[in-house]
Every structure is written in structure tokens, then in C-alpha cells.
Structure 1
Amino acid sequence: MSKKKVLIVTQEMHPYTALTEVSQIARKLPQYIQENGMEIRVLMPRFGTINERRHRLHEVVRLSGMNIIVDDDDYPLIIKVASLPEARMQVYFLDNEDFFKRKHIFTDEDGKPFEDNPDRMVFFCKGVIETVKKFGWAPDVVHCHGWMTSLVPLYLKTAYKNEPLFQNAKVVYSAYAGSPEAAFSDAFAAKASINNLTEDDLQAYVSDGKVRLHEGAIAFADGVVLGSEAADEGVADAVSSADKPVLEYQGEEGFGSAYMEFYENLTEEEVEGK
């Protein structure tokens, strides 16, 4: 039997970014599942806070050179890679000077969310999918960690639904506490409507005139993980009404086996359904 392939898409990962719930899980989980027989790929943004020399990032020329369209503008996508020697694991970084060069991740020095966070999210989510297409690597599970990945479930189930590499992929979304969506403008839906999508396709991401990233991702995911002990407002309601598999909050220790079992159950449903 071939190894199951798991794509980890994360907005943060220790030691490349500061220690948070997201970065800690995104660091430990791929190593655990790789050591327990699954094949992995990890993709994250190359934020300007990441020291390329210290972490030995280098460009992957064969993967770079694409342009990603965001709000009718073209932005070059550069792919870099680094290895975690203690984990025998490679991490791929999506880079663009306009979106990721700054020395702060999601907010400025005064704690105010960047105005272009929606554009950065669209660039990253679409860039992830296009990069995996260049890999020519068909994942069995796509596991998205954090609000910045929240458009991946939508894109895989709509704009890329006929892409052969993702035909059998189960999409998992981990909802963690906190997101800057309150700062998103009314233009969010128009920006996020890539390819042949319309603003109507993003209705799950807007409720009562406000952007709800977690709720939209939950609507399009095949399975949901509660990544934080205290969920954001609306997440619990979205989970209960979605009627799909849910992995409850696992804490930061000993969670790996629960995640693997969750993956196995999701992919077994796919086999049984054929």
C-alpha cells in the first residue's frame, strides 16, 4: 500500500515564526505524521521576519517564475525551501516582495492589521495550489492551519474542482482563535473571487455584512479541527450546522495520533463512497 500524502498549509511555523498555537502545531504535526508512515509537504509564507541565512533558505528555480493574479494585478511568485535537519523535513516558502518583505507578519508596529491582508491571503492560497500543481504531487489530505489559509478549501472545491491532482483530496481546516477579518473591507469578496468564481460563491465567508473567514472555510472543508481551546465567535455554530467530521481541541501534547486517526477516517470514507 502506498503512503498517504498529506499537504500541510500553514500561516506560521516554529522556528521560522514566533511560538504560537498555530506555529507549534504546524511544527510538531508534520514531523509526527512523517515519522509514522505518511508522506508530507509543508507550505507557508516567507515573511520578512524569517532570517534566510540562519535558516538556510534557497530558491527553488524550477518552481519559481509563476505570476499570481490578485485583484487584476500580476504578482511574481518565488518559491524557497529550507530543511529542518532534526526532523529530516523540508519546508517550502511562498515569497513575494510586495506582500511579504515587511518586518512584521500580520500587523504593523502599532498592532494595526495590514490593509492588504486580504490580498496577501488570496496570493498565498492561490499560490499554494499552483505550487502543488508544479510539484505534480497529488495529496490525499490537504490540512490548512489558520485564517490566512481559509480560502484554500473554497478554491479546491470550486475554482480547482476539476484539477486532477486534487480530485481525491480531503480538505481539513484547523480553526484557531484570532483573525484580522474585522479589518477587512467590503472589497474582500471581489478580491477573493479568482478564476471563474463570482462574489456569490463567497457567500459562506460573509455573514450579516461582516467577513467570517473561519465560517467560510468550515463550509467548504471535508473535516474541521478545533485548534484552540476557546473558539472564535461563530465557529461553534458553524461546526454544529455543517454536519461534517470534527476533531475537538487536542492540546499541544500527544495530539499526533488523534490527527492521524482523523485523516484515516476521512480518507476511508472516500474509498467506501466509491
Structure 2
Amino acid sequence: MNDKRILYVSSEVIPYLPENEMSTMSFEAPKMVNAMGGQTRIFMPKFGNINERRHQLHEVIRLSGMNLVINDLDMPLIIKVASIPKERMQVYFIDNEDYFKRKATYSDEDGVLFEDNDERAIFFAKGVIETVKKLNWGPDIIHVNGWLSALIPLYLKNYYGNEPLFKDAKIVTTLYNQGFEGTLDQDMIKKVLFDGIEDEAVEALKNPTYEGLMKTAIQNSDAIILGEENLPEELVKCAEDKGIPILPYVAKEEFSNVYQNFYLAKVLNEEVES
């Protein structure tokens, strides 16, 4: 992985949110890349239940201050950063008072999904990409984790498709079982189409379920990783039908060399030393 640049975008990362398959691998994978001589950047939402004082988050003024247009509304983008203790890794947090200040991640205390989760996903996707542009940091691979990150591949391929910084970047999406019941706002597709994205690119968002979001990510990705066992069959079939490289589930204890070889041989089409 020497000198390879990998951008990790995840809905959840430890130690900032509780441990699960996604949050763990969103920490372990970049740690592995760093140890093998690669470069990483990690992005996640700045949910209101992340303790800023404990984790020593601070705003990056030079990256903040931009307004992102979400469904014809100007929404201020705030960027915060923190360093993971004992690791040479920084995490960038996408923040906005309207979308992320509440003291929860995806739903209220009764388990009801937030009504604006669709807009939060759009804001997060645009916020990550615009911030990477400001950093002028061109990744070789963009690795996406979690449904709140699922619009990143769509926007990279269709909204930022002519952006030179991402011209050669390959998109990898990991699938997990961490979804949600029901649907996001039924007008989600209109809000994405507002950005000038073609109708056929968002066909799966006509029914904005967890599966619909992840199908949209798969259809705009260059490779897929199965992050858990027993994933929804329709998502695995969607990836198989697209004909892109798929890495079967690998336990955390064994993933290091497997991920490295997959990144290099299957995603970047480079030779791997045996």
C-alpha cells in the first residue's frame, strides 16, 4: 500500500461511536493502510452524541464557511477534526447545526427515523467531497461505509464526474446489515434530481429504503466488500449483476492482507507480490 491514498467515508467510526462491524472496520482498515505505508483521510458525520470535549474536536476554520445547496436551501458546512489517540490518523467531521446537533444518530428516543435523514445524507455526501476538494487531496480509492454515506458514489460519478481530483479514483462500498426499517422521505429522489443528476441514475431511490440507498451505492461503485455474513440477498445479487469485483466477508482477525490484495489487485488492477 506504499504511498497509496485511500479516503474512508463512514457513517460510524470508533472510538467516536459504539463498536459494531462498521465502526470497527472503519477504524481498522485505515489503521492497516497507514501501517503499510499508505495515506488515509477519514470522514464521518459529527453527530450530536459525539462528545467534542472528550475527543478533543476542534473546528477547522479554513475548511468551514461554505454553504451547500440542499433542496434549494443554503446550509452552512462546518468542518471539525480530531486525532485518534495513539494512532497517526485524523478524522474529519461534517457538521451542520440543523442536521447534526441533535443528541442521536439516525432516530429519536422512540426509534422513529429523523424526517430529514435524506437531506442529511445529501449534505454529508456533498460536504465530504467539497472538503476533499479544498484539501486538494486526490485519493486512489474512496471506500464508503454505511447507508448515510451511500450517496457518495452517486454524487462522485454523476455530480462531480468532471472533477479532475477524482478522475482516476476507484470507489469501493462495503455492505453491512446495519440498515433501517421503513423508508426515508419519499421526496428524496426529487431532492437529488434537483442537483441535475439524471433520472436513470437514481431509479433505486424511488423507494428510499435501506436496500434502495445501498443499490444506488452499488450501481455507482467499482468494487464491493461484504462486511458481514448473511447480508440481504437482493444487495449481493445487485453487486453480482453489475459484474464488479466482490470481496467475500473476512473476519477482523484475518482481513489485513486480504484487504490489501483486494485494493491493489482487484480495485487498482496492480500486480501483487506473492
TM bucket (normalised to shorter chain) is over 0.9
Give the superposed CA RMSD.
Answer: 2.1
What secondary structure does 2:78 align onto?
strand
Query: Cα distance 1:42–1:116, how it changes in 2: closer, same or farther (>3 A)?
Result: same
What secondary structure does 1:53 align onto?
helix
Q: Is residue 22 from structure 1 mapped to residue 34 from structure 2 by the alignment? A: no
Q: Is residue 246 from structure 1 mapped to residue 252 from structure 2 by the alignment? A: no
Offset at residue 81 of structure 1 (A): 0.5
Query: Cα distance 1:233–1:116, how it changes in 2: closer, same or farther (>3 A)?
Result: farther
Q: Is residue 66 from structure 1 mapped to residue 66 from structure 2 by the alignment? A: yes
Contact 2:64–2:79 (8 Å) recurs in 1: yes
Q: Which moved more, 1:134-143 or 1:194-203?
A: 194-203
Alignment of 1:164-243 (within 5 A): 164-180=164-180, 182-193=182-193, 195-206=195-206, 212-243=212-243
- Deviations along 1:140-198, one digit per CA (max 9) or x if unpaired, are 00000011111111111111111000000000001111323722232111122353214
Question: Structure 1-normalised TM-score?
Answer: 0.93
Alignment of 1:1-274 (within 5 A): 3-180=3-180, 182-193=182-193, 195-206=195-206, 212-269=212-269
Contact 2:81–2:93 (8 Å) recurs in 1: yes
Question: Structure 2-normalised TM-score?
Answer: 0.93
Query: Cα distance 1:82–1:199, how it changes in 2: closer, same or farther (>3 A)?
Result: same
Q: Which moved more, 1:131-140 or 1:249-258?
A: 249-258
Distance 1:129 1:79 in 2: 12
Distance 1:268 1:114 in 2: 38
Task: Return the letter of the residue paired with 1:28.
Answer: E
- Deviations along 1:48-80, one digit per CA (max 9) or x if unpaired, are 011111100001111111111111111100000
Q: Which moved more, 1:60-69 or 1:197-206?
A: 197-206
Structure 1: runs of 5+ lacking an equivalent: none
Q: Which moved more, 1:74-83 or 1:250-259?
A: 250-259
Task: Return the letter of the residue paired with 1:235.
Answer: L
Offset at residue 2 of structure 1 (A): 6.8
Aligned length: 271
Q: Which moved more, 1:177-186 or 1:17-26?
A: 177-186
Distance 2:142 2:133 in 1: 13
Offset at residue 107 of structure 1 (A): 1.1
Q: Which moved more, 1:150-159 or 1:186-195?
A: 186-195
Distance 1:45 1:241 in 2: 31
Task: Return the letter of the residue paired with 2:107.
Answer: T
Distance 2:208 2:88 in 1: 46
What secondary structure does 2:76 align onto?
strand
Query: Cα distance 1:181–1:173, how it changes in 2: closer, same or farther (>3 A)?
Result: farther
Task: Return the letter of the residue paired with 1:183.
Answer: T
Distance 1:211 1:229 in 2: 16
Offset at residue 207 of structure 1 (A): 6.3
Query: Cα distance 1:183–1:267, how it changes in 2: closer, same or farther (>3 A)?
Result: closer
Query: Cα distance 1:192–1:256, how it changes in 2: closer, same or farther (>3 A)?
Result: farther
What secondary structure does 1:81 align onto?
strand
Q: Which moved more, 1:247-256 or 1:186-195?
A: 186-195
Offset at residue 85 of structure 1 (A): 2.9
Identity within the alignment, %: 44
Contact 1:224–1:246 (8 Å) recurs in 2: yes
Contact 2:159–2:196 (8 Å) recurs in 1: yes
